[in-house]
Structure 1
Amino acid sequence: MTISDQELLKLQMECTVFFENNPYAYETARGLAKKLGRGVEPLEVVLNRLAAISILDKRGEGNMAIYSYKTPYTQNEVEIH
């Protein structure tokens, strides 16, 4: 089964929103597939992409890999000199 770039992008946004809304979630591709009602294979592609661009943390490899949200760094205070 091949999946279009458009579908991958849609799935990438779906995963990003899931982890933003559940910042303390730790999920495997299989667990997330059940929650989102999606296939495991396309999810693995998307989750690895999100980990590569530092949106998610990835611990482990293969079907045992666990993904979690990587909170973006934000600076709360600005010093004016």
Structure 2
Amino acid sequence: MDKTNMLPLQMECTLFFQENPYTLETLAGLALRLGRKPEDIRPALQHLVSLSILEEIGEGERAIYRYNHPVVTSEVGIVWEQV
């Protein structure tokens, strides 16, 4: 798969896991759900794993992928000056 098609496929995979945040899925299962070929999805999944967007549990064809929930902090520093 060429790089021009990789980004939309990465987005499609990311959105699937964001919309189904507790899903645990294999490469074959995800390909079936998205209507894609496993060999097309594999590089996209590996890239998302390298970015820590997805977690890969296990190896090879039996590996399971799941969404890594982002850590959100809401720290706000407020400094009051006395006048």
TM-score norm. by structure 1 comes to 0.90
Q: Which has the larger radius of gyration?
A: 2
1:64 counterpart residue number: 62
Cα offset, 1:21, TM superposition: 0.5
RMSD: 1.2
Per-residue CA deviation, residues 29-52 of structure 1 (Å, 9 max, x unaligned), is 100000000000121111111011
Match of 1:73 among 71, 79, 82: 71
**Structure 1, unpaired ranges of 5+:** none
Q: Deviations over 1:22-72 (max 9, x none)?
A: 100001110000000000012111111101110001101111110000000
Instruction: Supply the distance in 2 between the matched residues of 1:64 and 1:19 (Cα, whole angstroms).
Output: 18
State TM-score, norm by structure 2. Answer: 0.88
Q: Which stretches of structure 1, 4 residues or longer, exceed 2 Å deviation after superposition?
A: 76-81
What is the rounded CA distance, in whole Å, between the counterparts of 1:43 and 1:61 in structure 2?
Answer: 15
Q: Which residue of 1 aligns with 2:34?
A: 36
Q: Where in structure 2 are there 5+ consecutive unaligned residues?
A: none
What is the percent sequence identity of the aligned residues?
Answer: 47
How many residues are treated as equivalent by the alignment?
A: 79
